[in-house]
Amino acid sequence: MLIKDGWHVQTQVLTDTATIGTVRDTLVAGFLETDASDMIMIDDDLTFPPDALQRLLAHDVDLVGGIYPFRSDAGGFAYGRLDDSLPDPDTGLLRVAVGLFTQEARDMPDGTRRLFSEDYSFCLRWGDLGGEVYADASLEFGHIGRKEFRRGSLAAYLNLTSAFPATSKDEQ
């Protein structure tokens, strides 16, 4: 659908790498060598509607992701709350504008005393630079494990009246 809408699309798949952080770093390095404006990271165990990528690209922000269900019969969704804010997306389906990477590389101090998974630390570092983290909570995902786990959208799950941009930390 993106190509049909006039987007130039390039895909890259990495396999046989033990750590997801290394995979993401390698993909970002390759992305920064192109003239592309946006990078979309997609985990291979997610399903989502055909228009999900267009919806992420339509948001006029630097960082926006979708929030998908846990691979568990117990329920719930994969997102973090690092403070009293609304949910931060995991990086399973995340759109990042090129400017975010160049600003992070230029302005981010090295190191932190808090340990987070690479998913949450990426969003936390962007927030530390004054960037906003958004989630399109209206997207509906499936998460594949021993079966496909589906729960509708996070917006419905949390009874949100506005799925975007109400999940911005600064619009509470």
pLDDT digits (tens, 9 = 90+) for 95-141: 989 888 777 666 655 555 444 456 556 777 777 778 787 778 888 88
Query: Domain extents for the chain?
Result: 38-158
pLDDT digits (tens, 9 = 90+) for 19-69: 777 777 788 888 888 999 999 988 888 999 889 999 999 999 888 888 888
Average pLDDT, whole number, for the chain? Answer: 75
Q: Which CATH code is given to the segment(s) 38-158? A: 3.90.550.40
Going by DSSP bridges, is the β-strand pair 63-65/134-135 parallel, antiparallel, or unpaired? parallel
Question: Please, which contacts does 101-108 make with residues 24 or more away whose CB atoms are closer than 8 Å?
Answer: 101/28, 101/31, 101/32, 101/39, 102/32, 103/129, 103/131, 104/129
Rounded to two decimals, the pTM is: 0.67
